[in-house]
Chains A and B, each alone.
Chain A
Amino acid sequence: MVIIQRNAWFLVLGGVILVCAFSGLTSSSNKSRATGQTGFREWYQDPASAFSIQDGTRPFSLPLATCCSLDGNPRDRSSPIFTLADKKKFAKPEPHPERPYLGFKTCLRCHTNGAVGQVDLPGGGKLDLNEEQWVFYNEYPTWVKEDKHGQAYTVLLNKRSKEMGRQLGVSEIHRDSRCLACHTGFPLNQMPVEKDGLVDRDLGKKLDINVGVSCEGCHGSAGDYQADGRDFVKGWMGPHQTAPLMPYAKTNPWRFLSPQAKHEQYGFFDVRSPSFKTKLCVSCHIGDVEQGRIVTHEMYAVGHPPLPGFEIETFTQQMPRHWAEFSAKAGSVQELFLKYTKDPLYREQTYRKDNLHRSRSLLVGALVASGEYLRFAGQLADDASKSPVTKPAWPEFAVFDCYACHHDLTNSSWRQTRNSFSRIPGRPTLHAWPFTLAKIALKTLGMPSADFDAKLADLRQAINRKPFGNRNEFCQAAQTAAAWVFAKSLEREKRPLKQEEGYALLTEISTVASTETLDYDSARQLVWAFRIVESELQIKFPNPDKIRPLVESLSKDMFLLNLRGGRKAVTAIPKETGGMEERSTVEVDLDIVLPYVARYQPLAFQKKFKEIALLLN
């Protein structure tokens, strides 16, 4: 029996856990039951206590207080965040209001040591990690060592956050639910929130909260829940372990369920679907009113780093991969999956290995981001749309294009000499970047960009009506446009992208980039997109050796993205057992990044892409 002290947690974070013998788990006893105050040590000694699984098919039950280590009740269980009708239209990656968050510790058992040896499964049975090649089984160390999501909570205690708190008049900013909505994977609707939107003082000391955006933040809360006299809500923790018990069988094993069933029945987020995945990411990286994920202009003004324009594939690429792309999995695994899966995107008849999967994802992601941005903006303007945090007063400047106002004043400004203004000058305008790639994506569906412009006509009219737009018209138009774009994103997702289309896509990107006067964020989207498509293209296209250095040189001009390359810092955070522990974080080096935006010159960018466009033809 390996005993690990509570204070060994820091070693875990440091990656030392990699060498900790997990074999201790396999012989764990039932001596100590987990309680509402389950700590790391208790859990570690007795992992089975976290489960009461009977067999692979029967649902298991787990009282909330046990699994999420919370005192008090989750808030407001009576009003589900989304209605069934919404869900049917477009599945949304929101935590189920009642399904409890089990915490990352539950996942460590299997997802730590790599595909080595066997592990016991709760309720009996063993999983042979050697045989099972679907995933790496070392997801946890990859995430904890390198993934910035694991620092999301820690940074709430750094100098910048403290300064933000001071200026906002919140003495303990790390308790503010407006921050926690994004900075931890733990669902906001399961946190006891006191008045002033602050969560319980000791909540942040729980590992499940302070490890930031961990497993269930992106994969969905995994626990079961049953309240008196109410329907049983089943989580995916049990079911997803059944697959290994019956590998590759046809009898409804987890792996071959349709993603929709996994989501609707068990709350498992479909991160294989580009549209679902993008929705999930942008719920923080753009915002989501219903989940309380709103970065306000007030937060920016006191120092929150500006959210960069989002592009799903480029951002995914920057994550330390704790997964293998489908095409990179073992051949036999692929074969079996394609044969039995109910995932419409991966049926044998529709799936082709040489299709441009990432490029398709990029296009789908662009449409979803554009739709989510519109929805977010519309809901902020919409009084009828509720949020678990205090909604900022309208107009909320954060919805509008930062750099439309935030630029030094210059003589002969390129903004004033742009050839076309589709708006009244001097008025705050929407971000341009969510529409740049979306237009291109629509073109691949055979829709000219003028059609998209027409779809946005109402929105533009609402915005032009007065500074910050006519509120009612704006929220109507934004949400209508959002629904339309979402439908298009699903259409784009269903349609595979062939190699030949990849070349056309490169041409289209370079045409847009060389003819339109683009702002910094839009221009960067196009470079990102170009790089993704180009890297996936297997058919020959003209002058690749000349084009590649040109595209790469743009990274010098405009700073593309470097999410993990920031300066290192150390932040002390309080431990549950008392005292502090030091965690290392990666800083957002705004002093390096922001001047790129200021220096950006659209004409120079255009010129470079003119060269690229010429070389491509």
Chain B
Amino acid sequence: VKPRHWLLVIVVVSAPIHSWQHGLPSSAHTGPAKGFPPQPSAVSPQFVGAGSCSASACHHGNFVNSHTGSEFTIWMTRDPHSKAYEVLFEERSLHIQKNLHSPHKAHEDQRCLKCHVAPGLDAALEKKAPYFRTDGVSCESCHGPAENWLNVHHLPPWRRMTRGAKKLQGMNDTQTLLGRARLCASCHVGIPGMDVDHDLIAAGHPRLNFEFAAFHAHMPRHWPDAKDRNPNSSPRGRQDFEARAWAMGQLVSAQARLILLADRAGDPQKPWPEFAEYDCAACHHDLRQPSARQQKGYEKRKPGSMPWSNHLFLTTRILESLHDQGDPQLVKVLGNILQTFNASKSNRKDLAKHARDAASFLDRWQQKLDTQPTDQKWVDHLFESILLNEGPTTRATSEEVMHLQVSLAALYRARIDLNMPALPADLRNSLFRLSTRFDLPANHYDSQPIRNRMIEFLKIATKGQ
């Protein structure tokens, strides 16, 4: 069993994609950066539909396992993204719209289509080509609208173009981890305008629960995997790909979360407090006696207050692994965010500012990771620093525990890829126990078993240190 198979249990089936453009808010201090969230400009190229890619001589070959020439086939037959539009007709989707008192049907609601088809597919464009919807999250949803490059992208001159030049023609960067992670995170974490907020979750939408490396690993490959992992096969190949994918996923997801937080807190029209920012299981648990929460205590926050679901606590470890000092500025701002959340009256304006600051700091680190070579030592260092330093987080929210678990699983996988020495048997077994799946009573989500396993795992890993 692959260490991360458990994720399938909670994988959100909604499979959205769009082009998170290269320009993240580098000038976040001055408000939302231009080009972010991605808006199709007046001159933006148009979608041509997956049908334009699926000529049998191009991407619709007869193979479902190998890639070249069969990309469309693989996507159509095996990739859940191709079902993204269909799910809008399911009973669950009908209920969601009903609960939200929405005048639209899910498959006609722009709010849904932005992730379930493509972010650029706005109403005006839709009138031109409504049938693109039925493709779900298809070729252009990730690779970018093909109007300008459809006819040239197989020609040698195109291949010699830089990623930036291609971007100008509408083709997204799906080669670098940074490019990929941003594409995925824009739907799977969310960005302003594509926000799975608590209203939507309560109406019935599955909550988003994203870890880039694990989701990436589960995608049916319609691209040559060796190019990612084997340095001999491509200049971009990295043997520690899995660890890099995890780290990049962390940095990008963290940034997306911060941008989303800045938007949720900063826009007075948006509901606040936005419950999706908080740990689900903090409120959503049957009342019990004895109560594990009461026994655990509330540490620095007021008993009964809502704890922020801090998904960023591993980010700083990654930064430290890339640079001795890490990013003290970011650590400080993250501290401010936590403090503002824990204050009896959280000031949403302050939160929005802190979140924008923090998001802007991450730009530079994402670029750094994208270009900086890494090695076995780096993986080992990350693994250890997480084990040794994040033990106390088992006392924090259940989501932090899950987060920790999924990260260790990714790093474990990277160790195997790198032929690093095997982990001691008890540690490995404990990690597997963590990773298999939640053993929950039918349908019920309960963080306690996973928390217990985490504690057991950390005890073994740190030998009781």
Contacts and interface: CB of A to CB of B under 8 A. Distances in A.
Interface stretch (A62-70, A179-187, A293-301, A572-580): A293-301
Given A296-B304, A297-B304, A425-B202, A409 B280 contact: yes
A598 B289 CA distance: 12
Contacts of A467: 271-275
B204 interface: yes
Given A409-B445, A598-B287, A425 B304 contact: no
B303 A426 contact: no
Contacts of B288: 591, 594-595, 598
B303 A168 contact: yes
Interface in B245-300: 271-275, 280-281, 283-291, 293-294, 297-298
State the main secondary structure of chain B at its contact with A: loop
B201 interface: yes
Interface stretch (B66-74, B94-102, B153-161, B360-368): B94-102
A240 interface: no
A91 to B, nearest CB: 34
Contacts of B303: 167-168, 298, 301-302
B300 to A, nearest CB: 12
Interface residues of A, number: 40
Contact of A393 (B202, B293, B344, B445): B344
A425 B203 CA distance: 6
B199 A406 contact: no
Interface in A456-474: 466-468
B284 A406 contact: yes
B199 A426 contact: yes
B272 A425 contact: no
B446 interface: yes
Given A416-B202, A426-B201, A427-B199, A405 B304 contact: no
Contacts of A397: 304
Contacts of A298: 302-305
A597 B344 contact: no
Given A168-B303, A303-B294, A594-B288, A408 B283 contact: no
A408 B95 contact: no
A468 B272 CA distance: 9
A227 interface: no
B105 to A, nearest CB: 17
Interface string B73-111: 000000000000000000000010011110000000000
Interface in A223-255: none
B272 A416 contact: no
A447 interface: no
A412 B204 CA distance: 8
A424 B445 contact: no
A301 B298 CA distance: 9
A594 B272 contact: no
A123 interface: no
Given A302-B303, A426-B201, A407 B443 contact: no
Given A167-B297, A167-B303, A597 B286 contact: yes
Interface string A381-419: 000000000000100010000110111111110001100
A28 to B, nearest CB: 49
Contact of A421 (B101, B283, B345): B101
Contacts of B293: 301
Given A167-B303, A301-B303, A466-B271, A402 B345 contact: no
Contacts of A425: 99-100, 199, 202-204
Contact of A416 (B203, B271, B294, B297): B203
B287 A402 contact: yes
Contacts of A297: 304
A408 B446 contact: yes
A567 to B, nearest CB: 12
Nearest to A426: B202
Contacts, number: 111
Nearest to B273: A467
Chain A CB within 10 A, most for which of B202, B287, B288, B305 = B287
B2 interface: no
B236 interface: no
A590 interface: yes
B198 interface: yes
A506 to B, nearest CB: 32
Contacts of B287: 306, 402-403, 406, 590, 594, 597-598
Contacts of B272: 466-467
B303 to A, nearest CB: 4
B284 A409 contact: yes
Nearest to A413: B204
B377 interface: no
Contacts of B127: none
Contacts of B203: 416, 425-426
Nearest to B294: A303
Contact of B95 (A296, A416, A426, A590): A416
Nearest to A424: B199
B284 A408 contact: yes
Interface in A285-327: 296-303, 306
A73 to B, nearest CB: 33
Interface string A494-514: 000000000000000000000
A588 to B, nearest CB: 9
Chain B CB within 10 A, most for which of A163, A403, A410, A426 = A426
A594 B294 CA distance: 15
A408 B281 CA distance: 8
Contacts of A427: 199, 202, 271
Contacts of A303: 291, 294
A302 B275 CA distance: 21
B345 A393 contact: yes
A118 to B, nearest CB: 51
Interface in A419-459: 421, 424-427
B444 interface: yes
B286 A598 contact: yes
A470 to B, nearest CB: 12
A302 B304 contact: yes
A595 B289 CA distance: 9
Given A167-B303, A303-B294, A411-B443, A406 B95 contact: no
A406 B291 contact: no
Contacts of B444: 408-410
A545 B331 CA distance: 70
A306 B286 CA distance: 12
A230 to B, nearest CB: 40
Interface in A28-78: none
Nearest to B269: A466
Interface string B200-219: 11111000000000000000
Interface of B: 95, 98-101, 197-204, 271-275, 280-281, 283-291, 293-294, 297-298, 302-305, 344-345, 443-446
The 7 closest A-B pairs by CB, nearest first: A426-B202, A301-B304, A590-B289, A598-B286, A425-B202, A301-B303, A405-B283
Interface of A: 163, 167-168, 296-303, 306, 393, 397, 402-403, 405-412, 416-417, 421, 424-427, 466-468, 590-591, 594-595, 597-598
13 contacts: A167-B294, A298-B304, A408-B445, A409-B445, A416-B204, A421-B99, A425-B100, A426-B199, A426-B202, A427-B202, A590-B289, A591-B290, A594-B289
Given A408-B285, A597-B287, 11 more contacts: A167-B298, A402-B287, A406-B285, A407-B285, A424-B100, A424-B199, A426-B197, A426-B198, A426-B199, A590-B287, A591-B288
